[in-house]
Amino acid sequence: MFYRSRLKSRELNPDEVFLDSSNLPEFDNQQFEGRLEKAISRKTILFFLLICLGIFIIFVLRTGYLQLAKGEYYANRSLNNTLNLLTIFPERGNIYDRNGEELAWNDQGRKYSDNPAFSHILGYLGYPSPEDMAQELYESKELSGKSGVEKQYNKELAGVKGVKIIEVNARGEVASDHVINQPQSGKDLTLAIDHKVQAKLYEIIGNVVADRGFTAGSGVIVDTQTGEILAMASYPGYDPNAISLGNDPVKINSYFGDSRNPLLNRLVLGLYTPGSVFKPFMAAAALAEGVIEPQKTIYSAGQLEVVNPYNPKLKTIFKDWKAHGAVDMRKAIAVSSNVYFYVIGGGFGDQKGLGIKNIKKYAEMFGLARLTDIDLPSEAVGSIPSVEWKAKNFDGEPWRVGDTYHTVIGQYGVLVTPLQMARAYAAIANGGKLIKPTVRKLASPKEIQIVASLPIEAKDLKIVREGMRQGVLEGTAAGLNTPSVKIAAKTGTAELGVSKEKVNSWVTGFFPYDTPRYSFVVVMEKGPRSNTIGGVFVMRQLFDWMKIYTPEYLEDTDLSLRGEAANLPHD
């Protein structure tokens, strides 16, 4: 039986039989077109499979080795090697005086000027307190400012911390490290202080303390137009290097055990009874309130006798320091007549007085017993007595006219800081502008901060300035009548304690008189009552020195370059 194929046959073309690359010139020989493919041999495939099998076997064996034979070793290594984040502390910024003199700088640590004159301004560094650590403000090994500008400007001086990762093994050895963030060095700080004037003022105060039996002393010079502090000396000072390093416990303990409080910046934290340096503000208040005309005289026989209204035979005596005769306002300021200020303060006879409310109002208007907001970490406030103040502090006792008499001459419960007083005198000098003081040198006049423009007429402040100038020419501040510079000044002697054997010796004022550039205050603390050498002597010595070594501060200059605060009336 035959079967037929179901395949259909077709006729072959000769070209198909002889197909190759030679008769197809369009083939690209470089791309192997027109060539016959040859199948991969079995040997090649077998060889490739053997290689893959070998790699797989090696991988399995290595994995088994690491897991079984070395598993414990690598587990321990994993536990013993840790990655830690390490803080990189930046280099702290330097501190300079207004002329570029280094006051605090980096020298394999922190380093300060060894002159204690700068200690209270600069401050010192220390490690975090337990309170700081509890609030996570600082790291345990991080030094930060603890006082002075080191504390006030700590953020700027400290810079920005960096971070790096370190791998540490069980033996504490660093296996590797890598910086994530580079630290940024702190910014430098330029102060308004002139280091030469600062050092000399401190030296003179220290000499007078030692020679004249005072306990301590302080002095400050303030730019009346900008509020910049040219000098701020508080005696005694301390060594900030010793406290920052903490390597001299004997010296450090001596500071804390010293009854003179060398760690206290007396200019901003010391509270003092001002005495007669309070009087010029009361004169300005009396003029502003229309209490008295400046040319009207009041007679001082050396005391003011006040008759008891309930018993005419009884009299209360309020003493003047001497009999001055008839004095008007200018002369009363110049010779510091107590009787004159008793009368315009509390009234007497047909002469009305300011009264305690106005005394307090104008004292605080001039910034007394008010924070100055200086750029230092802490500041005392002080007090101006009032009816409420007396009732609170003296078991409800009523206010009496005698209390007003004592307050108007800066006694009784009046307490102020020397810096408050220096700013207040700057306001008298500059025409009534209360300016925020600063230890940092201002970059431009735009940074001047005028806190208030006092509602006192220029002509009234001019009378006060004239009285202060008269005080230098022929009054209690005659010791400052020097050819070095024209000065206006007011002195004060505040009696201390029940026995009044100790006094604080004040001198305040401004210079140059015609175009006031700087106000000043010196307080010599707790000296013998019999001593006649005090604050005036300190400033006279300084002015004579400045005439030779820093005459640029004593010269009349164009104040228009120092901002809006320079717009004051000139005498």
- Burial zone of 41 (CB within 10 Å; 0-12 exposed, 13-18 middle, 19+ buried): exposed
Give the pLDDT mean for 527-553. Answer: 92
pLDDT at 325 over 70: yes
More confident residue, 146 or 490: 490
Is the pLDDT higher at 352 or at 242?
Answer: 352
pLDDT (0 to 100) of residue 377 = 94
pLDDT at 353 over 70: yes
pLDDT exceeds 60 at position 402: yes
Average pLDDT, stretch 293-301?
96
Average pLDDT score over residue span 44-66: 78
Please say if the pLDDT value at position 267 is more than 70: yes
**How do the domains of the chain map onto residue ranges?**
83-188, 195-566
Q: Which of 246-255, 389-398, 419-428, 504-513 has the lowest mean pLDDT?
A: 246-255
Q: How confident is the model at residue 140 (pLDDT cuts 50, 70, 90)?
A: low
Helix, coil or strand: residue 330? helix
What are the strands, taking DSSP E only, across 360-517? 433-435, 450-453, 488-496, 502-511
Residue 132: pLDDT band (50, 70, 90) is low
**Whole-number average pLDDT of the chain:** 86
Q: Are strands 518-528 and 216-223 parallel, antiparallel or unpaired?
A: antiparallel
Percent of the chain with pLDDT over 70: 82
Among 99-113, 372-386, 458-472, which is the least confidently predicted range?
Answer: 99-113
- Contact 422/222 with Cβ under 8 angstroms? yes
Task: Please say if the pLDDT value at position 426 is more than 90.
Answer: yes
Confidence class of residue 330 from pLDDT cuts 50, 70 and 90?
very high
- Please state, in angstroms and rounded to a whole number, the distance separating the CA atoms of residues 208 and 527: 10
Report which of residues 134 and 462 the model is more confident about.
462
Closest to 324 measured CA to CA, from 274, 260, 276: 276
To 10 degrees, what angle do helices 458-474 and 279-288 make? 150
What is the model's pTM?
A: 0.81
**Residue 279 and residue 319: Cα distance in Å, rounded?**
16
Confidence of residue 558 (pLDDT cuts 50, 70, 90): low
Question: Which among 548, 550, 566 has a CA at the least distance from the CA of 558?
Answer: 566
Whether a cis peptide bond, with omega within 30° of 0, leads into 512 is: yes
Mark residue 353 as left, alpha or beta (left: phi above 0; alpha: psi -120 to 50; beta: remaining): beta
**Distance separating alpha carbons of residues 489 and 510, to the nearest angstrom:** 7
Better-scored residue on pLDDT, 168 or 417: 417
Instruction: For 163-216, write each residue's pLDDT tens digit.
Output: 877 777 666 666 666 677 788 888 999 999 999 999 999 999 999 999 999 999
- Do the Cβ atoms of 416 and 368 come closer than 8 Å? yes
The whole-number average pLDDT for the span 36-56 is 76
Tell me the C-alpha distance between 263 and 270, whole Å. Answer: 11
Are 321 and 338 spatial neighbours (Cβ–Cβ below 8 Å)? yes
Check if the beta carbon of residue 517 is closer than 8 Å to that of residue 509.
no
Any idea which fold 83-188 has?
Penicillin-binding protein 2a (Domain 2) (3.90.1310)
The answer to whether residues 427 and 366 touch, using CB atoms and an 8 Å cutoff, is yes
Give residue 13's pLDDT: 57
Average pLDDT over residues 287-300: 97
Task: With cut-offs at 50, 70 and 90, classify the pLDDT of residue 19.
Answer: very low
Peptide bond between residue 236 and the one before it cis (omega within 30 degrees of 0): yes
Class of domain 195-566 as given by CATH: alpha beta
Question: What pLDDT, on the 0 to 100 scale, is given for residue 386?
Answer: 96
Round the CA-based radius of gyration of the chain to a whole number and report it: 42
* pLDDT-derived band at 294, boundaries 50, 70, 90: very high
The predicted pLDDT at position 48 comes to 78
Amino acid at 244: S
* Mean pLDDT of the region 57-84: 68
Q: Matching CATH topology for 83-188 and 195-566?
A: no
Answer for the pair 103, 113: CB distance below 8 angstroms, yes or no: yes
Six-digit token string for 525 = 């603390």
Report percent pLDDT > 90 for the chain. 60
Amino acid identity for residue 203 in this structure? E
Q: Average pLDDT, stretch 86-91?
A: 79
In the predicted model, what is the mean pLDDT of residues 367-379?
Answer: 96
* More confident: 152 or 11: 152
| pLDDT at res. 570 | 43
Q: What is the dihedral of CA 191, 447, 425, 330, to 10 degrees?
A: 140
Which whole number is the average pLDDT over 536-548?
A: 97
